[in-house]
Amino acid sequence: MDAISLEDLALLDVLHRIDQGVELVHGDSAIRQRMVESGLIEDDADGLRLTAAGIELCKSLQHRVAADAQVEKILQERAAAEAQAGDARPAASPT
């Protein structure tokens, strides 16, 4: 499984900011428009808010980030165990 892409991380960041009511910066207008067109957010008189699809995508991306972190932790633990096992092996004596 590939690690989550930078684009997905950026999308998750924007979804979080919208969900928390943080004002988007000027450079976010293009992504905001694409998110409205794709049905991830609503932009009306009440401001920006996530749609059901936006909430589900946000949850999915959060699970992906958590899974990637767990995989990284497991890989580090395995590498440490292998290094420790390699240090514990006796060196072969020349005959």
CATH code, domain carrying 62: 1.10.10
**Alpha-carbon 11 to chain mean position:** 9
In the chain (95 residues long), the average pLDDT of successive 10-residue segments reads: 85 91 80 90 91 96 93 93 80 60
Token pair in block for residue 83: 């290094």
- Report the predicted TM-score, pTM, of the whole model to 2 decimal places: 0.74
Token pair in block for residue 57: 């995508």
Residue 61 has what pLDDT? 94
Residue 27 has what pLDDT? 72
24: containing domain: 6-85
Residue 90 has what pLDDT? 63
Residue 3 has what pLDDT? 82
Number of domains in the chain: 1
Taken in order 50, 55, 19, 9, is the CA torsion positive or negative? Answer: negative
In a domain, 90, yes or no: no
Residue 93 has what pLDDT? 60
